């Protein structure tokens, strides 16, 4: 049986990072908060570092690690709030519903990436991974019991949530900054064409179009070729390479 400690350690999950973020900020409240309080354009690696450190600490860390990342995240979330105005446009990073959506995008993306590389999970593993992922939200402000009761309930929640997403001008600006970083190491800039391809290909068609991400038949072929190659090559890499990102961030923590 495979669970969060098997699946969550795989570095290939990072390939879905752009998808998860663009899904998150298509929730207008999340998008407004990120647009006002995050700096993707000038510090593209900071959000990655914070998110991955949190996920690895929750899945693999000691109680002291978990307490530390909770403190860091809550401190970062403190200023991310704006009272609703006459149009209802407000946000609060401590809102349990918004945190549930963020956790849901991380779960759904991780599952999609893992199954593209390793094949569909067996029923026992899929259930274990789903149950264990609840802690990603409940370690912050998501109340215990708010995670959909089972995977079928999650699918209903997901369909309803995706149907209600709206890509605002703020979200498009954040997406552009994320996918076209102005100040970044050369290795990151070199990786961005692939990151843009994977992000576009992993998004639902309607959201990809709403973000204005280029896509064509040739893009689709390159996207599928990447995943066919990844499914052959990545599982054969040594474990220490596949888990290197997790080990690096936990050491830093």
Instruction: Please state the length of the chain.
Output: 253
H or E stretch at 82: strand 81-82
Torsion of CA 141, 83, 76, 164, to 10 degrees: 60
- Please state whether beta strands 91-92 and 81-82 pair in parallel, antiparallel, or not at all (unpaired): antiparallel
Q: Is the pLDDT of residue 120 over 80?
A: yes
What is d(CA 90, CA 81) in angstroms, rounded to the nearest whole number? 7
**Domain around 202:** 4-252
Helices (H), 26-86: 28-37, 44-60, 63-77
Q: Is the pLDDT of residue 45 over 90?
A: no
| Model confidence pLDDT, tens digit, residues 168-214 | 999 999 999 999 988 778 888 899 999 999 999 999 999 999 999 99
| Model confidence pLDDT, tens digit, residues 223-240 | 999 999 999 999 999 999
**pTM greater than 0.85:** yes
Q: Cβ–Cβ contacts within 10 Å for residue 12, how many?
A: 19
- What domain count does the chain have? 1
């Amino acid at each position: 049986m495979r669970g969060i400690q098997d699946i969550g350690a795989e570095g290939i999950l990072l390939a879905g990072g752009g998808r998860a973020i663009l899904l998150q900020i298509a929730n207008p409240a999340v998008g407004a908060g990120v647009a006002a309080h995050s700096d993707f354009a000038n510090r593209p690696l900071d959000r990655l570092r914070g998110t991955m450190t949190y996920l690895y600490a929750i899945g693999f860390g000691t109680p002291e690690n978990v307490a530390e990342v909770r403190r860091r995240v809550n401190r970062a979330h403190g200023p991310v709030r704006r009272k609703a105005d006459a149009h209802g446009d407000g946000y609060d990073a401590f809102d349990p519903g918004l945190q549930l959506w963020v956790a849901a995008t991380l779960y759904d993306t991780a599952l999609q990436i893992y199954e593209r590389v390793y094949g569909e999970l067996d029923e026992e593993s899929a259930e274990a991974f789903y149950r264990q992922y609840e802690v990603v939200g409940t370690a912050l402000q998501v109340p215990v019991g708010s995670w959909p009761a089972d995977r079928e309930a999650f699918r209903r929640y997901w369909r309803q949530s995706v149907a209600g997403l709206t890509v605002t001008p703020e979200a498009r600006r954040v997406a552009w900054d994320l996918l076209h970083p102005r100040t970044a190491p050369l290795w990151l800039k070199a990786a961005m064409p692939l990151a843009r391809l994977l992000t576009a290909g992993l998004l639902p068609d309607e959201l990809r179009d709403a973000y204005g991400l280029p896509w064509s038949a040739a893009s689709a072929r390159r996207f599928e070729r990447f995943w066919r190659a990844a499914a052959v090559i990545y599982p054969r890499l040594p474990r220490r390479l596949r888990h290197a990102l997790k080990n690096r961030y936990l050491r830093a923590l």
